Amino acid sequence: MKQTGFGKEVIDMVTKTCRWCGKEFESTHKKVFCSSKCKVSKTTNDRKIRREIREAQIHELIIENVMEFLEEGGFNWDNHGVEYIVENAEIIDHQIWSNKVKSRDGKCQVCGSTHNLEAHHIKPKNQNPELTHDVDNGMTLCEKCHRRSSYSVHHIIGVVYSSEQFAVWFETAKASN
């Protein structure tokens, strides 16, 4: 219990955990962030996640409509939009998977950054094709931890790796941050 203000009554200070950074702080009211910086970061990240979810939903809707259109036999080779979607279905599926992984995690799982986020396959997709679009096989990493630095996952263990190699890299990278 601490006293706040000069000559004011004693108000209980409560220890809380910041909803963004996880840091503990003391507060006398309904504050849920340790600082205005964390509040702004969370709000900005929430907006970005909502936008990415909307984009993923649009992609899913497009794919569903195209597949329904094709199943009904309505394919016109002059319709370049349909051709594009059919030819790029794998890319669109990957983008949907990536958006879902990033939306779920919200930040780099190694360093906590919220900038330049990318989705990484925990079990390599070339060895586990059935898990390629499984959200549970994804982890959000920032560009730096994913592939742009000397300690990035692809720099250390390469593009072809085992789940065990990834687990060792992840624990080592997490411990160093």
pLDDT digits (tens, 9 = 90+) for 30-40: 788 888 888 88
Q: Enumerate residues 6+ apart whose C-beta is below 8 A from 152.
A: 144, 145, 146
pLDDT over 50 (residue 1): no
Record the pTM.
0.52
- Cα-based angle 175, 114, 148 (whole degrees, multiple of 5): 65
| Residue type at position 47 | R
pLDDT tens figures, 123-170: 888 888 898 889 999 999 998 888 766 667 777 776 667 778 888 888
Q: Give me the pLDDT at residue 164, please.
A: 81
Q: Amino acid identity, residue 111?
A: C
φ and ψ at residue 138, rounded to 5 degrees: -115, 155
What is the domain partition of the chain in residue ranges?
1-34, 36-103, 107-177
Residue 20, phi then psi, degrees to nearest 5: -100, -55
